[in-house]
Amino acid sequence: MKKIILILVTNIAVSNQAFPSEVVIPDHWNYIELSKVKIDSERGSDLDGFGVDAKFSLNDIFYLSGTFQDYSSDISEHERYLLGFGARYKINKQLSPYAQIEHVTVDSTNRFISSSINYWMLGVGISGVANDFGYKVAITHYEEISGINKNYSGYYAEIYYAISKQFSMGVELEYVDDSSDLYNYAFRYHY
């Protein structure tokens, strides 16, 4: 699944100049999203759950973001909160470089202990639209500020299909080099 998402996003990003931009694409900087979350982990059991995500443009450059995710396995439960601030520069409809910083908190419980981990996540990437598709792809860096002091890097990719001017659906992938893959299957309302 990871390879399919990356191939689709790369193909759209590389070939987006060949598509006409006559179709009205939802603004993927102003939305509310509901998602099914799946985490594949090589270190333990896989996790499933749901998420709620939103982005709000302050103006043509700056935006705010927020996410809540709740996922669990047979032996543990996790809540993940992300609050972020970002900036983008629209070159044209097909290409907008962006950067975003988010503060992340993960609260975890299992049969024996509860823990909370806080870290910063920085993402730098590009986004755009081509025909009825929207995409984002980014390189990410995770700087842990509590728990074990360890830095991670990874990448993020998403691809969305516009159902209408206000609705889209898509797939997101967040890969971190600590052997965890997070997938979101999402539905967005754009305002």
Task: Please report the pLDDT score of residue 107 as a whole number.
Answer: 94
pLDDT in tens, 49-76: 999 999 999 999 999 999 999 999 888 8
Q: How far apart are CA 8 and CA 159, in angstroms?
A: 8
E-assigned strands of the chain? 31-41, 47-57, 62-72, 76-88, 96-110, 114-130, 133-144, 151-162, 167-176, 180-190
The model carries a pTM of 0.81
Q: How far apart are CA 94 and CA 15, in angstroms?
A: 10
- 2-59+77-190 under CATH 2.40.50, yes or no: no
Over its length of 191 residues, how does the chain's per-residue pLDDT go in tens digits? Answer: 555 555 555 554 544 443 344 445 566 789 999 999 998 876 667 889 999 999 999 999 999 999 999 999 888 899 999 999 999 998 887 789 999 999 999 999 988 899 898 888 899 999 888 777 888 888 888 776 565 556 778 888 888 888 888 899 999 988 876 667 888 999 999 98
Q: Which sequence spans correspond to the domains of the chain?
A: 2-59+77-190
pLDDT in tens, 106-119: 999 988 899 898 88
